[in-house]
């Protein structure tokens, strides 16, 4: 092979090797691995070669995975609470509509009762999920006793007019759960056999609504401020008006 051609070939091989990192002009070991180092290694052809070392530590994907694994109970608790709040509003309004007859203007009687029952089932399931997921939360840990016994928890204690009321809003949520349980059991067992007792227990739903309203208003993450808090207050006022109308109607008959 001619010497001139051999020289050109060696030059081309050297340039390619440099560009693809086979023959680095600067030692990467000299750059700290804990930082991202950027430096000019060569100026062949007027274009500098940059050496970059990656930052040590978990990747973005790994950080997101870790955060999801640690936070999934909070996301489930939050989602179940939102479903419970929406279904409770619908349950209260549809129930009052069944008694006053307003619901029958939009739905046939059988459809109306079936819809009310379906909403009640969705509400009960969402409440159970809301409580169970809370037991797995690592950021706001709750024991079974704290989730089921009023004032056993010290989460967000309340002081009103100088009086320490403990975890009032958590306790309201627990009281609401027991009220819901009483309503469900009497509806399953006594709605046909003992209608008067069932009706008396069903009045607990109004008290449950009050407890859940303040429980969500002061503990709900999505109801802390903004449009969702305003909407929750508006719906709460609407249900309160419907309850007053229902009680006045019951008192006049």
Domain identity same for 66 and 43? no
Give 190-201 pLDDT, tens digit per residue: 888 888 888 888
Domain identity same for 28 and 115? no
Which pLDDT score, from 0 to 100, does residue 11 have? Answer: 52
β-bridge mates for residue 164, sequence order: 159
Domain identity same for 143 and 31? no
Give 28-77 pLDDT, tens digit per residue: 444 444 444 444 444 545 555 565 566 566 666 656 566 556 678 889 99
Domain identity same for 135 and 16? no
Domain that holds residue 34: 3-52
* pLDDT, the chain, mean: 79
The residue among 52, 70, 88 that closes a domain is 52
Give 152-176 pLDDT, tens digit per residue: 998 989 998 888 999 999 999 999 9
């Amino acid at each position: 092979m001619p010497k001139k051609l051999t020289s050109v070939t060696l030059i081309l091989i050297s340039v390619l090797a440099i560009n693809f990192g086979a023959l680095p002009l600067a030692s990467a070991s000299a750059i700290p691995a804990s930082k991202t180092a950027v430096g000019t290694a060569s100026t062949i052809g007027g274009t500098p070669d940059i050496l970059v070392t990656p930052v040590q530590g978990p990747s973005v994907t790994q950080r997101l995975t870790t955060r999801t694994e640690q936070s999934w109970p909070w996301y489930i608790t939050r989602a179940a609470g939102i479903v419970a709040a929406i279904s409770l509003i619908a349950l209260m309004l549809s129930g009052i509509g069944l008694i006053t007859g307003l619901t029958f203007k939009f739905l046939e009687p059988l459809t109306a009762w079936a819809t009310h029952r379906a909403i009640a089932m969705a509400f009960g399931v969402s409440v159970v999920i809301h409580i169970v997921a809370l037991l797995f939360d690592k950021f706001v840990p709750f024991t079974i006793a704290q989730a089921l016994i009023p004032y056993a928890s010290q989460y967000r204690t309340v002081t009103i007019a100088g009086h320490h009321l403990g975890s009032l809003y958590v306790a309201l949520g627990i009281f609401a759960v027991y009220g819901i349980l009483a309503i469900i059991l009497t509806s399953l067992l006594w709605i046909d056999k003992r209608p008067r007792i069932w009706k008396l227990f069903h009045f607990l739903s109004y008290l449950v609504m009050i407890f859940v309203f303040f429980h969500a208003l002061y503990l709900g993450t999505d109801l802390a401020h903004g449009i969702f808090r305003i909407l929750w207050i508006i719906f709460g006022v609407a249900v309160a008006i419907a309850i007053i109308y229902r009680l006045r109607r019951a008192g006049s008959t």
